[in-house]
Amino acid sequence: MAELARALDDLTCASCGTTDCLWIYPVRGVVECRECGTKAVVILDALDQ
Ligand SMILES: [Zn+2]
């Protein structure tokens, strides 16, 4: 199964403060900042609406 990454528009990284730098990996339930590399686990149910 290919891992699909989607950009999360209008979200700001809590670590480095860059906007539109966050990508979500639905397979792993992880959000990663492309600027500073910060990763966070997310609750997919909250995003699937
Ligand atoms: Zn960041």
Per-residue pLDDT, 39: 94
Q: Is the pLDDT of residue 12 over 70?
A: yes
Mean predicted confidence (pLDDT) in 13-30: 91
Which residues have a Cβ under 8 Å from the Cβ of 29 and sit 6 or more positions away? 41, 42, 43, 44
CA–CA dist 49, 47 (Å, integer): 6
CA of 49 to the centre of ligand 1 (A): 25
CA of 30 to the centre of ligand 1 (A): 14
What DSSP element (H or E) covers 47?
Answer: helix 44-47
CA of 32 to the centre of ligand 1 (A): 8
CA of 38 to the centre of ligand 1 (A): 6
Domains of the chain: 6-47 (2.20.25)
CA–CA dist 18, 34 (Å, integer): 9
Band (20; pLDDT cuts 50, 70, 90): very high
CA of 18 to the centre of ligand 1 (A): 6
pTM of the entire predicted model: 0.69
